[in-house]
Amino acid sequence: MIAADVKAIHLGHPSYVWRRGQDRRLSLIRQYVELEGKRILDVGCGLGMYVDKFRQFSPHVYGVDVDADKVAEAGRRLPNIYESPAESLPFPDESFDVILLHEVIEHVDDDHETIREAYRCLAPGGQIVIYAPNRLYPFETHGFYLLGRYYFRLLPLVNWLPDVLRDLFCPHVRIYTARGIKRLFDGLAVRFDATTHIFPGLDNVAARRRTFGPWLHGLVEWAESTPLRCFGISHFIVARKVVD
C-alpha cells in the first residue's frame, strides 16, 4: 500500500468538488451561525473548500490541516492556510468567533484535546461547529479492514456492533453518538445551540439517474424533517462558548 493510500485511510478524503450536498451543509450552518464579518477557522480544511466559501461572508477566514500536501495546494489559491495538528493550533487564545470541524474529529489523534484546543481559540460567545459520523447511520463510509487488508467500500451495519467488534473492522476511524460528542466538552462552559443530523447528499446517484434525482433529494429532505433524521450520515452540533 503506497504512502498516499495510507494517508487517505487515516485522514480521510477532503471535499474535492463543491456540490449540492455541500451547499446543504453550509445552509444548515447558516441557520445557527452568523458568518458575516466573523473571524472563522476551518480545522482540517483539506483543499480549502469551506475556507473558500466562508470568504463570501468574511475576509477573516483561516484554515489549518495536518496534511502538508493539501496545505500547499490550498495555499496556492487561498490566503491564511497553515499546516498544524488540530490538537495544537498556532493561534492565540480567543482568536476566532466560529470554528468548524467538518468530518475531522473522527480522524484526529486525540478528539478530547482537539475540542479543548478549539475551545481555547474561541472567543466568548463564539461557536464550534461539528459535523461527525453518526453511529446510527446504517453504513460505514470510511472503508474497512478484513484479514489485514483494507477495502474502500461501504460496510453495512458494522457501526451498530459493540465497540470491541466494530473496531476489528474499522480501527482507523471513530464513530459517534450525539452523547459521545457532547462528552468531549465535559468541563468546558458551553451551551449547545444545535444537535441534529444530516443525510448524505447523494449527488453521484442523482447525477447518474437524472429523472430519479429530484425525487431522491426530496425524499432525503423529507426524512430530515422527521424522527428518521436520527439515522443520518452525520451529526451536526453547534456548541457556544458561554460568556462568564
**What predicted TM-score, i.e. pTM, was given to this entire model?**
0.92
The pLDDT of residue 2 is 42
Q: Give the integer Cα–Cα distance in Å for 121 and 134.
A: 26
Beta carbons within 8 Å of 156's beta carbon, 6+ residues apart: 138, 139
β partners of residue 127: 98, 240
* pLDDT for 23 beyond 80: yes
Helix or strand holding residue 25 (H, E)? helix 20-32
β partners of residue 198: 234
Taking only the tens place, the pLDDT of each residue in 76-125 is 999 999 999 999 999 999 999 999 999 999 999 999 999 999 999 999 99
**pLDDT tier for residue 3 given thresholds of 50, 70 and 90:** very low
Residue 46 DSSP symbol = T
**pLDDT tier for residue 1 given thresholds of 50, 70 and 90:** very low
